[in-house]
């Protein structure tokens, strides 16, 4: 009887360690930036923000907003479409279209099993007509190192209240 308990304890310990190592290997890579489609027209832009993670793992928030005012939200449980209020659309558009250095090398912060990971992709049509894409990712443990422009846009998006 004692032998079975020891074998069970060893097996359980090995299993838990292997699971933790596997999770760490998966979470330590740099996440792929989320794809986003760019609307047609001059000064067009689109932004997609994906926030996932947390202790439960089902705290997905996937929000896409375009210069046309369309908003698509996928919470993992439901998908919905809405329109953005004109004043918020103007504020967001000014943040996205104002020329600034969006180049960022960020790390999501691997090894943190209960951290939220925020990934953002911005596509905009530059004044010269070129389609440009900028992206960044950061974890809740590395939020202080997030590029300020990306963090400002992400905070605005995450705090939008849709009144439909």
pLDDT in tens, 101-152: 666 555 555 556 677 888 999 999 988 888 989 998 888 777 778 888 898 9
Q: Which long-range CB contacts under 8 A does 146-152 form with residues at least 24 apart?
A: 146/106, 146/118, 147/102, 147/104, 147/106, 149/95, 149/100, 149/102, 150/102, 150/104, 150/120, 150/122, 152/95
Q: Domain of 124: which CATH number?
A: 3.30.1560
Output the pLDDT for position 20.
Answer: 45
Q: Which tokens in the block code for residue 44?
A: 């067009």
32-69 pLDDT tens trace: 667 888 999 888 999 999 988 776 655 678 999 999 99
Same domain, 91 and 119: yes
What pLDDT digit, counting tens, does each position of 3-32 carry?
Answer: 676 556 655 555 544 444 444 334 444 556
121 and 68 in a common domain: yes
Claim to verify: residue 113 and residue 138 sit in the same structural domain: yes
Residue 77, pLDDT score? 81
- Which token pair is 163? 């009144």
Domain span including residue 11:
1-30
User: Are both 105 and 74 inside the same structural domain?
Assistant: yes
Mean pLDDT across the stretch 64-88? Answer: 91
Same domain, 143 and 66: yes
Q: How many domains does the chain have?
A: 2
- As a whole number of angstroms, the distance between CA 64 and CA 49 comes to 6
């Amino acid at each position: 009887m004692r032998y079975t308990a020891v074998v069970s304890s060893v097996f359980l310990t090995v299993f838990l360690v292997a699971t933790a190592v596997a999770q760490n290997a998966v979470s330590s890579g740099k996440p792929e930036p989320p794809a986003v489609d760019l609307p047609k027209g001059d000064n067009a832009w689109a932004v997609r923000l994906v926030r996932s993670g947390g202790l439960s793992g089902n705290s997905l928030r996937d929000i896409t907003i375009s210069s046309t005012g369309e908003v698509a939200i996928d919470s993992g449980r439901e998908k919905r479409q809405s329109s953005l209020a004109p004043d918020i659309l103007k504020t967001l558009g000014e943040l996205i279209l104002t020329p600034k250095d969006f180049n960022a090398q960020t790390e999501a912060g691997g090894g943190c099993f209960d951290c939220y990971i925020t990934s953002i992709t911005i596509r905009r049509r530059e004044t010269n007509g070129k389609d440009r894409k900028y992206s960044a990712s950061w974890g809740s443990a590395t939020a202080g190192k997030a590029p300020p422009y990306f963090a400002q846009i992400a905070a605005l998006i995450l705090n939008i209240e849709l009144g439909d």
